Every structure is written in C-alpha cells, then in structure tokens.
Structure 1
C-alpha cells in the first residue's frame, strides 16, 4: 500500500466513524407521550433518516420540583445523544452497552425557534414563562417585580394572604389599616 493510499484509507475510516457518531440533531416531534415524558422524533438534517423512537424528554427538575414544557406533534426540538448508553439509568439497572453517541441514547433537551420565525420578545432581560405571543405570561424582572398577564387567573388555596404597603384592584386602594 502506498503512502497516499494509506493516508486516504485512514482519512476515509475516520470520516466513516464520525458519520456514525451522533452529537446533536434538530428533529421534528412525530408523536409525544407527556405522561411518560417521551417522544418519537425524526431528524430533519437527513432526508433518509429513520425515526428515533421513545426519546426521553429532559426538563428542569429536582426531587421536589419540575418545570414542564408541553411538547406537541410537529414541534421542532434539539436532541442530544449521550456519550454512553442511558438504558441502565432509564430502566433501573442492567449492564450498559458499549455504544457511544448513539441515536439509541437520544434525549430531547429543548425546543428550537428558527431564525425565519422570530419571536417578538417584549422581555429580553427578564425571566418569562408564557405563550410565544406573550398573551399569557409570568415575568420576573431584575428589580424584583413579578407580573402576571392572563385572560383568567385562578388561585386554589386554603389560605390567601396579601402583604404589601399598598394593595390595589382596578385602581381602587384595598389597603386597610392594621390594628
């Protein structure tokens, strides 16, 4: 084998290995199960791609709290492929396979908004939970204010306590003098 053909062989082998390594993929959600937090997705960058099934949906959570994003069919999502087999973690035990960066170990890590469909962001410096049109939203700003906008605001509680220097509703002062 000549030096040129050996170099070419090594280069082609590396290229082939890298083509089989998945890192991140932009995908379309085909089906979603928001009870089990998993979805079937289709990579959008490869016209010959096959669906990736039962992809876990990652979200912000701890043992006691969760922020849930309600993914729907047709949503565009970012999918990351784990460096190692996730089956033992997801299904509780067992031996990990030796695969790495496989589509079998994909995780939905967030939604993607295309540059061709910009969101008119009214709050670029604030933390916002809301609809994309901002018709319904909770906004926390850096000076400590919280704003809530909704067509209906429902509170269910055993006890509701309002504490403030001035409390108003529809411009009317509801503040009472404490005893």
Structure 2
C-alpha cells in the first residue's frame, strides 16, 4: 500500500468513527415536563454524556402516549441526518452537521434478551407494567380488557355503557 492509500484509508476511517447513527444509552437524568434526558452511551468506555436529548414518542396534534422514563432506563437513541435545533426551538438557521450526537433523539426503551418479558398476549396491543399484572389490552377482534390487581377508578361527569 502506498502512503497516500494509507492516508486516505485512515482519513475515511476517522470520518466514519465520527458519524453517529444509533446508540444504546442509559438515562442519567430525565425531565418529563420537557420530555428530555441526559444520557450516556453504553458499551463505549470513552463515551461522555449527551445532554438535553429529546424524547421522540407517539404524538399527534390531539394525542400523546406518555411513557414515564426514569433514571437508569436503557433507551435506543438515533442521531438525525441534519441539525434538529431549528425544529425544536422554532426557527433559525440549521448547522451543517450530520449524524451528530448534538442531534440525538430517544426513540424508545430497549429490553435486553437477558431480561425476557413473559407476554401472555403477544397478538394484543398492551399497555402494562412489567409484571403484566395491571394492563389495558386490546384484542385483534376489538375487545378491550382492563385488568388490575388493584382498584380501578374511572373519573367522568357521566359514565355510559353500550353493551
């Protein structure tokens, strides 16, 4: 190999090491009012915390599904192809950076294969605790079940049932 080939190869390798695409991280601190967290990439001994990373979650103009992330949770983080600051803060000029940790987004939790979840209803939509003892379950045929080991409280001005 020529010195030029070695130089070009090393330069490309160095550039690729600075591209962040997807990371598995631990939450260090979380702010569920602003939906952001400080995170630490795992499996990288030289990693430094990434601060003020927004959560990407199921949200529309009318609805939000909120998951209460906590310190210590393991999450999947992606890095945007472009600067997200103008979108998050309402305007301004985008920086020319790409796939930067400065443009990280938390997209969800990760469950390691070493901690399997025993899901008795794999074909249902489920909102549950990790013990599956308190859950809302929607079956493919449309039936909805609310199950709990504890008291269930419904708060409404009037409750109407149409069996």
Aligning the two structures, in what range does the TM-score lie when normalised by the shorter sequence? Answer: over 0.9
- Residues 67-115 of structure 1: CA deviation (Å, up to 9, x unaligned): 0010000000001000000111111111110000000000000000000
Provide runs of 4+ in structure 1 moved above 3 Å.
none
- Residue aligning to 2:93: 95
Flag structure 1 segments of 5+ consecutive residues without an equivalent: 165-179
Counterpart pick for 1:49 among 47, 50, 60? 47
Count of residues in Structure 1 that have an aligned counterpart in Structure 2: 162
Aligned counterpart in structure 1 of residue 127 of structure 2, from 126, 129, 136 = 129
State the match for 1:153 in structure 2.
152
Alignment of 1:1-179 (within 5 A): 4-150=2-148, 151-164=150-163
Partner Cα distance (1:10, 1:124) in 2: 50
Give, in whole Å, the separation in 2 of the partners of 1:69 and 1:163.
30
Report the Cα distance in structure 2 between the residues aligned to 1:136 and 1:33, rounded to whole angstroms: 25
CA RMSD of aligned residues (A): 0.9
| Greater length-normalized contact order (CA 8 Å, ≥ 6 residues apart) | 2
Q: Which has the higher Rg, Structure 1 or Structure 2?
A: 1
SS of match in other structure, 1:42: strand
Residue segments in structure 2 that go unaligned for 5+ positions in a row:
none
| 1:27 Cα deviation after fit | 0.2
Following superposition, the deviation at residue 132 of structure 1 comes to 1.1
Secondary structure of 2:65 counterpart: coil
